[in-house]
Structure 1
Amino acid sequence: MNEVNGCFCRKPKAFTLVELLVVIAIIGVLISLLLPAVQQAREAARKMHCTNNMKQLGLAVHNYHDNFGRFPPGYLHPDDASYRASPYDWNNAENGYGWGTFILPFIEQSALHDSFDFTTPWTATEAQHEISAYVCPSDASPPLNRFYYQDHYLQDTTKPETDRMAKSNYVANYGTASPNGAIFSKSGTTGGVSGYGSDLKFRDFTDGTSHTIYFTERDGVRTRGSGQYEAGGAIWIGVPKVYGVGGSNHIHARFPGSATENTYYGINLPTGTYGPVYGATSQHPGGVNVTMADGSVQFLSEYTAWETVAGLARRSDGKVIGEW
């Protein structure tokens, strides 16, 4: 002790190095415990935002049906009569409008919808409008899709950014068959809800609208892989260079119809597979959001049996679907 003004006072004791390190370690542990909780809360909020987006899409196609007596076509060629003619010069096909343009008035985008001349192909300038209703906040890919370009059915990394198109994280359900090379058919048991020239009504959903997927997610983070040509994600405006009627994976999803196909088109397949180009993917842990044809939104786990997924993707296969 030291004498100060005649008073003996104890000298304050400072932190030792060991004590300081212990405090720092405790703070570090607390932060490490807190961060995952914060990240989970943020992802929960992003997932809810995505759910609301998909709910709006469900309402939009129902409102479209109320106005036109049918659900919107998956996509159409500007010169539809010529496009349906056979034989057709596929190499000179042009950009076709997709379901994302047809429902614009029902997601508060009437001005954009009215700016299109649907008798002529859309342009990259028109396609670069970023629409928040078509974007999942969990997807960290750029606002403009990195892989698909105006007048290009396949990706082309040499094209300038002025030819790129605004992304979408939502794609319509084509079913369990390939969307390539066929006009959409109401017959058969592998069909989904959307495709070239589709014009479904409620009566066409013989399995029930609550048991049929209408929209699912597609993130732009995963890619097919450089070994097969790197591509991924989706766009909202339609199909660039509507090659061979098909090639509509830009706005549609294909679901697995067998155990083998589940390795190609299963949910949330990783980079290097077909899933990021053709299937259903998201950045939500464990699965994807899906909008059912009745307008409800559900979360579809990536661990769901392929048979159940196939049944949900087909609108009229007559299969009974249990709990999922």
Structure 2
Amino acid sequence: MNRRAFTLIELLVVIAIIAILIALLLPAVQQAREAARRSTCKNKFKQVGLAIHNYHDTHIAFPLSHHLGGNRGAACTWNSGINDEYKFGWGVMILPYLDQTAVYNGFVFESNYNASANLIGQTNLHNGGAIVVAFQCPSDPQSDFRCNRTSGINNGGVTDDLGRTNMSGVADSQDWACNTSGGGWGRLDGDGTLVNANNLKFKDITDGLSNTIMVAEITGGVSGSNECQNWVCSNHTDAGHGINGPNTVPGGVTNWVRNDRERLMGFSSYHVGGCHCLLADGSVQFVSENVDDATLQAQATRAGGEVTGEW
């Protein structure tokens, strides 16, 4: 009795069919995984929104974006008499409301986070290296990467890496930029919600809580860059750049100083088509990368009086 086997042609046909099926199914699987990651990212924004609301209920005010004093002056110089210390930002302040009390209690708040080469500075910097998953987008391929802060340490005596974040407080509606050749940095106008203004409350958001962006998604910086955003200190951004993909972020390491102007990182994400934005009422909206710049900037102000349509 003769046994019938596959011919070479039949085997090749079967292999080709399997390859076609894999080619058809793989993108669908990848899209499903990204949809799940995007949903998780949105839920994290909601958790952060709830934490900020709980902070406000406790302290009757928003947390400061961070303690970076001063306002833009003539020729981009610092206003005199303003203390310009590196202190803790809003990400640190809401840690107890994100089930991160142990990390919060590890900081020494009587000192700057990078206060010179002493034990306190080392303690704060080491504690700031914690990976807080609530601040991280699951689509970020560099989730375990930390921001090197050696260049920002007084006296050059303490060096450590701070935990990065994919969330940035919206402090300003315009492009934060100043000429660097004149000496001195630009300062935020502070017409956003998470700013360096004491006692800013919900009642101060006269544009409406559902019409004001409080926290925006960011890519968190390029691997190996000193300029990536961290959750410990300078965690703020502006709406002056629109929404960008991971390879076109104006504040990326290759564009950090551009046209002799210092710039903050704009809104950006690893998601296709836009980024998440946390509104002041605690809701989360996925904003298209094609949103009109003027509309986006209007949504970033807390009391600008702008009237915008659907966005």
Asked if TM exceeds 0.5, the reply is: yes
The 3 A distance-change label for structure 1 pair 53 and 97 is same
Equivalences, count: 272
1:125 matched to which residue of 2? 126
Which residue number corresponds to residue 235 of structure 1?
Answer: 230
1:138 alignment partner in structure 2: 139
C-alpha contact (below 8 Å) 2:249/2:266 kept by paired residues: no
Q: What do the CA deviations read for 1:259-310 (whole angstroms, capped 9, x no partner)? A: xxxxxx1201553652445101110111101110000011011011112111
User: Which letter maps to 2:171?
Assistant: Y
Does the aligned pair in 2 maintain the 1:145–1:234 contact within 8 Å? Answer: no
* Conserved? CA contact 1:124–1:150, under 8 Å: no
* Alignment partner of 1:274 is 2:250: yes
* Residue of structure 2 in register with 1:176 after alignment: 173
In the alignment, the residues of structure 1 paired with residue 227 and residue 218 of structure 2 have an alpha-carbon distance, to the nearest angstrom, of: 8
Aligned to 2:307: 320
User: 1:72-122: per-residue Cα shift (whole Å, max 9, x none)?
Assistant: 1111269xxxxx99346x8xx643100001111111112222222211022
Aligned-partner residue type, residue 321 of structure 1: T
The answer as to whether partners of 2:166 and 2:220 remain within 8 angstroms in 1 is yes
Q: Deviations over 1:121-151 (max 9, x none)?
A: 22321211111111111001152335x4155
Report the equivalent of 1:290. 277
Shift of 1:233: 3.5
Residues 214 and 192 of structure 1: CA distance in aligned 2, closer, same or farther (over 3 Å)? same
Q: Which residue of 1 aligns with 2:23?
A: 32
Match of 1:100 in 2: 91
- Cα RMSD, aligned residues only: 2.8
| Per-residue deviation, 1:209 | 0.5
Relative to structure 1, the CA distance from residue 98 to residue 199 in structure 2 (aligned partners, 3 Å threshold; closer, same or farther) is same
| Pairing 1:252–2:236 present | yes
Question: 1:129, 1:171 → 2: CA distance?
Answer: 17
Are the counterparts in 2 of residues 268 and 275 from structure 1 also a CA contact under 8 Å?
no
Matched, 1:17 2:3: no
CA distance in 1, matches of 2:307, 2:247: 33
For residue 72 of structure 1, the aligned residue among 60, 63, 78 is 63
TM-score (norm 1): 0.76
- The SS at the match of 2:267 is coil
Pairing 1:194–2:188 present? no
SS of 2:30's equivalent in the other structure is helix
8 Å contact kept, 2:170–2:300: yes
Whether 2:94 is the aligned partner of 1:109: answer: no
Q: Distance in 2 between matches of 1:99 and 1:165?
A: 15
Which of 155, 167, 179 is the aligned partner of 2:164? 167
Distance 1:213 1:45, change over 3 A: same
Given that 1:95 and 1:150 are in contact with CA atoms closer than 8 Å, whether structure 2 keeps it comes out as no
Distance 1:273-1:52 versus aligned 2 partners, 3 A rule = closer
In the superposition, relative to structure 1, how do residues 205 and 266 fare at CA in structure 2: closer, same or farther (>3 Å)? same
Query: Could you say which residue in structure 1 is the equivalent of 2:73?
Result: none
Determine the C-alpha separation between the residues in 2 that align with 1:106 and 1:67: 10
Q: Which runs of 5+ in 1 are unaligned?
A: 1-8, 79-83, 154-158, 186-190, 240-250, 257-264
Question: Alpha-carbon deviation of 1:14?
Answer: 1.6
Match for residue 210 of structure 1? 210
Aligned equivalents of 1:76 and 1:55: distance in 2?
25
Q: Relative to 1, partners in 2 of residues 1:273 and 1:214: Cα closer, same or farther, differing over 3 Å?
A: closer
Note closer, same or farther for the CA distance 1:18–1:135 as it changes in structure 2 (3 Å cut).
same
Could you list the runs of 5+ residues in structure 2 that have no partner in the other structure?
Answer: 70-77, 114-123, 178-184, 253-263
